[in-house]
A and B are shown apart, each in its own frame.
Chain A
């Protein structure tokens, strides 16, 4: 399976610190997407990185992709309490649907 798996499972940081979450997957992919989910709510698309890209930025988010290691990282800089959520990576291979990992629960303490 191409499942993405995030680590750590849970992360607790102080407001203003940076948060780094990692995702590993098993098969070749076309793209990898990161989503945020506030408790009991819907999935919000954060960023998509294609397999031929190595790094992408969006505001305070920075995503890297290393296809040789089959891994990606999501960095949130200068975290805020509002960033508290679960973060999921999801991979796409060919025309397959998104395959999600279990997510990282991020708590940002004010």
Chain B
């Protein structure tokens, strides 16, 4: 069964460093998302991406964040200068479409630890 994959599974970085989290969405899906979950808290939406551009973003997704689809398969989240509070599990998701009947399928997540 097709699945969303993410790499790395765990990333440790120092405050102020740039990190790139990678995702390979399901191949026939058109919509891509990033969510994050700070330990013990809710899963929060960051950004959605369609047709090579951001379609929606939350307040969390400030200028320190960017997303890219550098080729036909990868979808990346870049954090330019990490802060301690960026420590969280980051989930990539994809869906075939948007609207009433489309499920979002999530990857296993990347645990980001900022020290």
Contacts and interface: CB of A to CB of B under 8 A. Distances in A.
Interface stretch (B13-21, B71-79, B80-88, B97-105): B97-105
B104 A100 contact: no
Given A42-B109, A43-B43, A98 B100 contact: no
Interface residues of B, number: 25
Interface residues of A, number: 25
Contacts of B41: 102
Given A97-B33, A97-B48, A41 B109 contact: yes
Contacts of B25: none
Contacts of A88: 43
Interface stretch (A11-19, A29-37, A61-69): A29-37
B103 A30 contact: no
A92 B44 CA distance: 13
A42 B42 contact: no
Interface in A80-98: 88, 90, 92, 95-98
A35 B48 CA distance: 19
22 contacts: A30-B99, A31-B101, A42-B107, A42-B108, A43-B91, A43-B106, A43-B109, A44-B106, A45-B104, A45-B105, A45-B106, A50-B100, A50-B101, A95-B99, A96-B56, A97-B33, A98-B33, A98-B43, A98-B104, A100-B42, A100-B43, A102-B42
